[in-house]
A and B are shown apart, each in its own frame.
Chain A
């Protein structure tokens, strides 16, 4: 080992070229920020690792697998080298595992303190043994001794050709800022980080990811759930499943591509916080009253508008029919209340389920039940039977007498059920005003969330409630008569249309085999309903009636059972993305959503449009057909050089749910526009799109 080289002749200002070391897939070289050293002055060097494409090396905490790169300095006394200063890593996913590391090129930094007794004209020789693990899928160890010689001179150090690269690597080191307040707690298998933004900070912080320095603190592969708060955000992380002891203080790095001190500023924040009781951390921000009131008002308004959405229309017609029938009987308020109760009960059930799962760390959002093929099958079957009922293929119980106006027995239950049905089919249409209210609700304490959902249900039920409470308005409702039978049958076709649409969604989610299973089940259901109508009515002899009913019941149960089993098998077989993803539509080339791709595009300042959509979201489908069919829109996007990204949420997808949550949303549609300025906050377009809205928004950006 040669440490010091006293060189007698002229000192060159350029450093002696260091020779890179190569392993199978990585090139390692020791580089310096300066090309000459001043005695007694510190300077930066870096171990530069250039990995082949797709290969990676590891951060100080490698995550689920791998091992950190190490440097063993071989310096004589007097030359101090700091331990590796790690630029923030990226998460490298290999489901079900994930690692923390680097792809491409990384600069592992170290600060060197040059001894004060160095003599100008000497050379300072640096030498270290580097060891790393390089992995793609397979892993290979890499090692080598890297060395560098720098001339010593009395004058200030001269920057080297690597100065810029090292300075930019230093920009990736986590910073400690006092004005972002961080707190942490552990609750129910989650590590919760709460960040309060400084008052001067006006930007969007956007997606945030936490990299723990400690072993066994969190599950590296688990989704990290970001919840926006009025004063900052909460980051919910799944605790390590093996349940090792929880440290008193947690240490790690929070990374936000948007920058912690405004656009273009440092992206990595050093997080070193003591754990506090969960209640203290979570309750620190009680929902602000004004925000809650606005959300409640918007939810109510959104609920009313929801009635006009294409999702609710088929059920709405049934409801109108019911009203015509019940209007004349008096006490119609009872039906209005029953309908309202049905709406509220189902909203609470959906909200409760959603909040419960959210508490368990699931990545769900509004409309989650329509991402479940079995749920779609059952909904199709119910709507199909309902339609057959409207066609008159079979009658349920007292329906005949009810139509004759004899009395509304069973009508209350019917009203309640219409409410349930209306809510169930309404969820795919997050109407204007509702998207943000729902997104807000899900970041709030349970009681506040339930308040918002209640307002939503009340809004949706309010037109009927009003009609039923005020008999004067009933004058405008037409008189019953023979036309009602015709109207009723016509309404059956609307329901069949809904069944076709849901069948299409099921086909996208679980494949054509599942759709076939559903259609076969519908045929059997049709036969069962037909048998019930032909032989199961009250006029038939008792034994015939009983046989028909038993057979129909068996048929319905059997058909549903077979369809559910069939769909289960089919959906297990098709786990890829839905067909709607990444295919050109309306002449636009869509890319599939990926946070990494988005971050890369944003960093490069490429304009991006993201369409958060789902096949089961009717308003999304309508918006897209209307907005993107316009040549002006397509031209405007093309002119602006926009990369068009489609985030298809037809199936459950934690990444997309997380991205939605980062925009404070829990459901689709959501349209996000990023302009050409890197780091600028995105623009959110309204839930109802027209070509004009898009063209205007694009003009304002440029």
Chain B
């Protein structure tokens, strides 16, 4: 009987502990970037661990979101992607739109659209169940993250300082370009966390 009492007590404690562990994690600047594995639009699997030793940029995207449209119609995004590729930076576009929601396409359509836009990411990762998005706390499209060669997150936030869909408004600072430039020159990143702006990620 005594044992039963202890078992009950232990079970209650275990339940309490199980509840505590459901706290959602977000990617924090200065900490290790959460690891993930995802399949790209060509059916190829990529793990974050594969890119150890390189800078990695994660770009949450949804080609139908007007903020993303602006970044691509002004060629700003493509130029950044090309510049990054030239410096050996791994650029991954991630789409976390749930099935049936805006921005969720079949893989082939992604490839066609990316080609039309002249987009140049290393891969477009399909995250339809929103796992990677929630792991990183991705809130908007675009929402940008930079991971350094040691696997630490060094930037989390907006793409630039102009939260608008108006193509005529030119940003003063592109946070991602600035952070990459600083980090690659061995300097600390001045602006490492900003509020991402844009459309909500369609989880």
Contact = CB atoms under 8 A, between A and B. Distances in A.
Contact of A241 (B3, B24, B66, B203): B24
A138 B64 contact: yes
A413 B197 CA distance: 61
B200 A143 contact: no
A243 B16 contact: no
B166 A382 contact: no
B150 to A, nearest CB: 19
A67 interface: yes
Given A131-B164, A141-B165, A382-B8, A67 B197 contact: yes
Interface residues of A, number: 55
Nearest to B141: A65
A642 B64 CA distance: 45
Contacts of B67: 67, 139
Contacts of A330: none
Contacts of A369: 12, 15
A28 to B, nearest CB: 15
B185 interface: no
B49 interface: no
Interface string A44-70: 000000000000000000101111101
A243 B193 contact: yes
A396 B13 CA distance: 25
Contacts of A416: 1-2, 5
Contacts of A99: 200
B183 interface: no
B156 interface: yes
Interface in A394-448: 396-397, 410, 412-414, 416-417, 420-421, 424
B140 A242 contact: no
Interface in A130-178: 131, 133, 135, 137-141, 143
A342 B164 CA distance: 62
Contact of B139 (A64, A396, A417): A64
B137 A137 contact: no
A141 B169 CA distance: 14
Interface stretch (A349-357, A659-667, A682-690): A349-357
B12 A215 contact: no
A385 B66 CA distance: 62
Interface in B176-202: 193-202
Given A96-B134, A139-B66, A414-B1, A244 B193 contact: yes
B202 A137 contact: yes
Nearest to A135: B199
A97 B203 contact: yes
B1 A96 contact: no
A190 to B, nearest CB: 13
Contact of B65 (A131, A139, A357): A139
A342 B20 contact: no
B20 A360 contact: yes
A601 interface: no
A372 interface: yes
Interface string A100-143: 00000000000000000000000000000001010101111101
Given A67-B163, A137-B101, A138-B102, A424 B8 contact: yes
B134, B139, B202 interface centre (most CB from chain A within 10 Å): B139
B9 A349 contact: yes
A27 interface: no
Nearest to B25: A241
Nearest to A139: B199
Interface in A349-386: 349-350, 353, 356-357, 360, 362, 364, 369, 372, 374-375, 378, 382
A216 B29 CA distance: 13
B48 interface: no
A345 interface: yes
Contact of B197 (A65, A345, A360, A410): A65
Contact of B26 (A131, A242, A346, A414): A242
Nearest to A362: B19
B114 interface: no
A345 B9 CA distance: 9
Which 3 residue pairs of A and B lie closest in terms of their CB atoms, listed nearest first? A413-B2, A215-B195, A65-B200
16 contacts: A65-B200, A65-B201, A131-B164, A133-B66, A135-B199, A139-B67, A216-B194, A345-B9, A346-B8, A349-B13, A350-B12, A375-B12, A410-B1, A413-B1, A413-B3, A417-B8
Given A141-B66, A412-B2, 16 more contacts: A67-B165, A94-B200, A133-B165, A137-B101, A141-B166, A244-B193, A244-B194, A349-B9, A353-B12, A356-B20, A364-B19, A369-B15, A375-B15, A396-B1, A413-B2, A424-B8
